[in-house]
Amino acid sequence: MLIRFFFFVFSLGFCQCDPHKNGNNKNHFARDRSPEQEIPVLCYHNIKSELDHHAPELTVTDSVFRIQIKMLADSGYHTVTADELYNYLTRGSALPSKPIMLSFDDSHEEHFSIADKEMKKYGFKGVFFVETIVINKPNYLTSQEIKTLADEGNTIACHTYDHPLVTRLKDDEWLKELDEPRKLLEKISGKVVDYFAYPYGAWNEQAIEELKKRGIKAAFQLSELQDPRDPLFTIRRIMVSDKWPMTKLNQEIHSAFNKKFLAYSRPK
């Protein structure tokens, strides 16, 4: 999985295409925010004890991850769920002060054993984009872990069955890659699955139309420009690197999101 992701990224050359704090304290509303302003969304893949052979662009060590999460909490960030972000973008609903979304791709077991455990120290929630082919396989999330994440208030979302380029899918392939994985995740989690992340961050107009037809409410890419016609289906994220010091992470959050205003879309 890592090798193909890393190869794809570089072959296309796409470009960023303390416990006393309660991370979701709803008493801290950002009254001055406009729904036209992007909310920072971070994307994590591997979280390992050491980098070893894993690409640092797709991996953070567990020690770095713990420092990053503590930095976000100490800096006053509050995590938001996918529903909260969607309601903000479509209805202008209030969010906590300094909102941020933490997302996790590809169903790695450490998302439960490391990421979830660490986020709970600060009252943080995450959005977990699950690739269903690997559920219950060694080193990946189990059905019970997915259910626990959902029960804790995290968002369980779809990341296809086996991580294809959705820009190349034929009509009948969407059943395998979206409809069936979505039903499975809903059965496991006991929650409606409304959100989707594009494998490799790759999307096109045809993929967006397929997601809309199937009732997906919003979809997440990586860091290509958002489509002004379908901003809800091209929500931007940045991948977090192990090589970033805390100052770099903070700079990336601000430069990638806080100074950029984009179109948004209200449901009709």
Q: What is the mean pLDDT of each run of 10 residues along the chain (268 residues)?
A: 42 37 38 62 94 81 95 96 96 93 98 98 98 98 98 98 97 96 98 98 97 98 90 94 85 72 38
**Residue 261, Cα to own-chain centre: how many angstroms?**
20
- What span, in angstroms and rounded, lies between the C-alpha atoms of 119 and 88? 22
Instruction: Tell me which DSSP letter residue 108 carries.
Output: B
Angle of the 143-151 helix axis to the 180-189 helix axis, nearest 10: 70
Tokens 């002004």 correspond to 228
pLDDT, residue 51, reads: 81
- Strands (E) located in 181-224: 195-197, 218-220
pLDDT, residue 163, reads: 98
Q: Tell which CATH architecture fits domain 44-256.
A: Alpha-Beta Barrel (3.20)
Q: How far apart are the first and last CA of the chain?
A: 38
Domain ranges of the chain: 44-256
pLDDT, residue 263, reads: 37
| pTM for the whole structure | 0.84
For residues 90-120, b (16+ Cβ closer than 10 Å) or e, as one string?
beeeebbebbbbbbbbbbbbbbbebbbebbe
pLDDT, residue 17, reads: 39
Other beta carbons within 10 Å of 164: 15
